[in-house]
A and B are shown apart, each in its own frame.
Chain A
């Protein structure tokens, strides 16, 4: 059970966050594109948060773009990520009393998140996940992981390979061996 008997008053905090999100900062992708993003939203990325905080005052960050050098942060991926954080910045704070790890893991994605992450372009999907991982946006990585998990669910290995464009690089002998190793798990199906 929580020890933080005196936690912050939700309403006040929300106001500050809303105000801060009016401040726009610039994010620069690895391809050179520069995009604006609300400060509170951008701070959902722990990477950006740390960068902003190390710069000290908020005034500085509004002029110079923050450079996100990882190659996964393409223009398209960064645009998607900004779309996500701009939608989620005012999410109710995670309440650890309720969202214990297991519950959160089992929770279904919201309708908005499902539509957001269900992109046709698989390369973009993995760019977004890799970029979110690099930028340390845990919530978004989770959305991506859950989406992939739901796609894989109930599929055979061959179907998984086809869907995710993975080449089967096992030799016939190796595959046989794994089949034997795994035998216990489908012996009962």
Chain B
């Protein structure tokens, strides 16, 4: 049988795996392909417009900083592309900066879009653009605008004109935003108008104190309907307001400054109010220490008793992330009782993330984490331990190469392991993990090591197994593993370099036609 003897369904299935750019080039292969590809594109509902299709040159600079630097949108490329897909209902811009000029092109060619995801928002659409968007697409149901400079007026416009909106995300994406990025003209006061259909609401980080935001949220129609909420709080006291006011939440992603943890007031106890959220399936708590932690260290915003009370009864919990950001804690609760509790009461847990910067994690603690056997596991080291001075001396650091490998051994169902911020971890852990993963050839495993003490990639001596993808990232600079594959003794096979993800791009093809 020849490929063209396959029925159209089957051929379309094959085409659906081919990156868009190459697919368009493939129109030239023969009449049957052109017809099938055009037909496939005409009926395509979802477009991810990325740097490859935009024609962005990928120079060395982009390789290194791709995640932080968004390319400019090429309007001509964009127009040619969306013209082929009149039935689009969902458009995602990835690694590309949106701009106002793209909106008329979108509106002319793809009137049916109901989901718009602009995944890189800083300095993109303007006030005029948003107004145009709201007018042309009143039926939008999903709007993702992380890091977009939304202000109170825009929220008001979006809230009052997009009545079908169910998912609204203008959260701060820390991985992409510049450091200390905050919305300067967003106080939260217009959130009260937001359409009651919203189920998923992700709110950006405001420059102002929480009070207005919380008050507005609590008087809004969505207070009882939102099931997914992301929010940044300055005071722990606000956490209490949310837990008391929105017990229906299923997913709660919260970061807090702990602005009310100081010598004058201490609202650590507010964490225990989380136990009101009995329906929680996903809980993320990011302790953002930029405010409450000084150089001399401070108390943790958690105590064991508040945390135990918080998690108590969350039997549906699937995802639990207790992570930190710039913390400097001198006194931390021991985590072990919580781990035992999770093992007993949260049978559905599939993802767990924990920071040694927030809790005391000893060798036994890592053993208990292994018993949880969760497919997605993130371990953050304690960044304060990187200083040699007491009381942060490294004898308190129990995260070692051996512990990491043991953790992987114990976690039989592992799919993704991420180890961050530990200067005690080096090539030895990577080699060990690769060996353990190789023995599980039937399972795809993703290993990510960020900000570790890596001397040289050439010391990764274990061959990268077929089922493993490995990302190594040191001091925010992605190490280009490809550099080490040419002519060196390293065992990386260049033909396999695809499985070493240096940056995420699902469509990396250099056309040569």
Q: A110-B466, A182-B27, A185-B511 are in contact. Are A130 and B10 (CB under 8 A)?
A: yes
> Does B489 reach chain A (CB closer than 8 Å)?
no
The reply to whether B1 and A189 form a contact with Cβ atoms under 8 Å apart is no
A154:B28 contact, CB within 8 angstroms: no
Verify B55–A188 contact, CB threshold 8 A. Answer: yes
A160-189 interface code vs B (CB 8 A; 1 in, 0 out): 110011111110001100110110111111
> What count of chain B residues pass the 8 Å CB interface test?
65
Contacts of B1 in A (CB 8 A): 72, 123, 126-127, 130
Is there contact, CB below 8 Å, between B512 and A149?
Answer: no
Whether the Cβ atoms of B25 and A186 lie closer than 8 Å is yes
Interface residues on A, range: 35 or more
Whether A1 contacts B27 by the Cβ 8 Å rule is no
Q: Pick the contact of A129: B10, B319, B443, B512 (CB < 8 A).
A: B10
- Residue pair B17, A168 in contact (C-beta under 8 Å): no
**In chain A, residues 68-119, which have Cβ atoms closer than 8 Å to a Cβ of chain B?**
72, 91-92, 95, 97-98, 102, 105-108, 110-112, 114
Contacts of B102 in A (CB 8 A): none
Cα(A31)–Cα(B125), bound, Å: 62
Cα distance A170–B28 when bound, in Å? Answer: 8
Question: Does A130 lie within 8 Å of B6, measured CB to CB?
Answer: yes
Tell me if A8 is interfacial: C-beta within 8 Å of chain B.
no
A129-B10, A144-B14, A189-B511 given; A110·B442 CB < 8 A: yes
Known: A1-B318, A127-B1, A166-B4. A182 touches B30 (CB 8 A): no
Contact with B along A117-150 (1 / 0, CB 8 A): 0000011001101100100000001101110110
Q: With a CB–CB cut-off of 8 A, which chain A residues contact B14? A: 129, 144-145, 148-149
* Chain B residues with CB under 8 A of A187: 55
- B506 at interface, CB cutoff 8 A: yes
Task: Scan residues 476-513 of chain B and give those whose CB is less than 8 A from a CB of chain A.
Answer: 498-499, 506, 509-513
On chain B, the residues within 8 Å of A133 by CB distance are 6-7, 9-10, 13
Contact of B441 among A107, A111, A122 (CB under 8 A): A111
The answer to whether A16 has its CB under 8 Å from any CB of chain B is no
| Chain B 236-273 interface residues, beta-carbon cutoff 8 Å to A | 250-251
Chain A residues with Cβ under 8 A from B55's Cβ? 185, 187-189
**Interface residue from B19, B30, B441 paired with A166 (Cβ < 8 Å):** B30
Instruction: Check if B350 sits within 8 Å of A95, measured CB to CB.
Output: yes
Query: Given known contacts A108-B499, A110-B444, A189-B510, is B27 in contact with A168 (CB within 8 Å)?
Result: no
The answer for the CA separation of A149 and B506 in the assembled complex, in Å, is 13
CA distance A92 to B416 in the complex (A): 15
Q: Which of A102, A153, A167 is B506 in contact with, Cβ under 8 Å?
A: A102
> A189–B54 Cα gap in the complex (Å)?
11
Majority secondary structure, A binding face = helix
Known contacts: A5-B316, A97-B318, A149-B17. The answer to whether A166 contacts B2 by CB under 8 A is yes
A85 to B172, CA, bound (A): 45
Q: How far is the CA of A43 from the CA of B416 in the complex (A)?
A: 30
Digitize B462-476: 1 where CB-to-A-CB distance is under 8 Å, 0 elsewhere.
000011010000000
> Contacting A145 at CB < 8 Å: which of B13, B57, B376, B442?
B13
Asked if A63 is at the interface (CB within 8 A of a chain B CB), the reply is no
Check: B456 CB closer than 8 A to any chain A CB. no
- Beta-carbon nearest neighbor of A175 in chain B: B28
Q: Please name all residues of chain B whose beta carbon is closer than 8 Å to the beta carbon of A152 when the two chains form the complex.
A: 18, 22, 26
Q: Nearest CB to that of A189 among chain B residues?
A: B511
Is residue B66 within 8 Å, beta carbon to beta carbon, of the partner chain?
A: no
Q: How far is the CA of A114 from the CA of B466 in the complex (A)?
A: 10
A sample of 8 more A-B contacts (CB under 8 A), given A123-B1, A182-B25, is: A98-B375, A112-B441, A126-B2, A126-B3, A154-B22, A164-B3, A170-B28, A179-B28
Chain A residues close to B by CB (< 8 Å):
1-2, 5, 7, 72, 91-92, 95, 97-98, 102, 105-108, 110-112, 114, 122-123, 126-127, 129-130, 133, 141-142, 144-146, 148-149, 152-154, 156-157, 160-161, 164-170, 174-175, 178-179, 181-182, 184-189
